[in-house]
Amino acid sequence: MSKTEAEVDPANQQEVLPEGTTAYFKRLHTWLRRAIYVCLFALVVEGTLFVPFLVVWYGWPTLSMHQICDELQKVMYSDDTRTCKFPYPLLGPAEAADEKTSQDTWGVQPKPHYPRLGFRELVTIHDQRVARESQAAR
């Protein structure tokens, strides 16, 4: 690896350093280069994987993206009647501007009361509500 960065010139046996790197900082620059490779790789991998990971965690493909949005809002605002309006009017007011249903312990450090959502738990919540609604309709 260091061969390319700091080659030894066979003619005068003098080390040829990359442009901009002085002998004193050669080792620092080598370690920085390695750390940069790690960060670059990690950023790309996590950037690519986190979207599919999240949509699967929250119920896709059993639930559509719109249904996931719907279910997340029901949990967020503790309101089973809440729906994710889509498409939303371009210059409309913030969709939750007037909501009064979300549960918190208010204070200088607000503490939310919504439950933790586990792996694909939105699917279960969705199915149970659909079952409840169809039972009530009968």
Chain residues that interact with another protein, rule: CB under 8 A: 4-5, 7, 10, 18-22, 25, 28-29, 32-33, 35-48, 50-51, 54-55, 57-58, 65-66, 68-69, 72-73, 75-76, 84, 86-88, 92-97, 99, 102, 104, 109-112, 114-117
Which is closer to another protein, CB of 95 or CB of 133? 95
Q: How far is CA 113 from the centre of its chain?
A: 22
Helix (H), strand (E) at residue 42: helix 26-57
Q: Which CB atom, from 35 or from 130, has the smaller least distance to another protein? A: 35
Q: Which candidate, 81, 45, 43, 61, places its Cα nearest to that of 122?
A: 61
Task: Tell me the two tokens of residue 126.
Answer: 């969705």
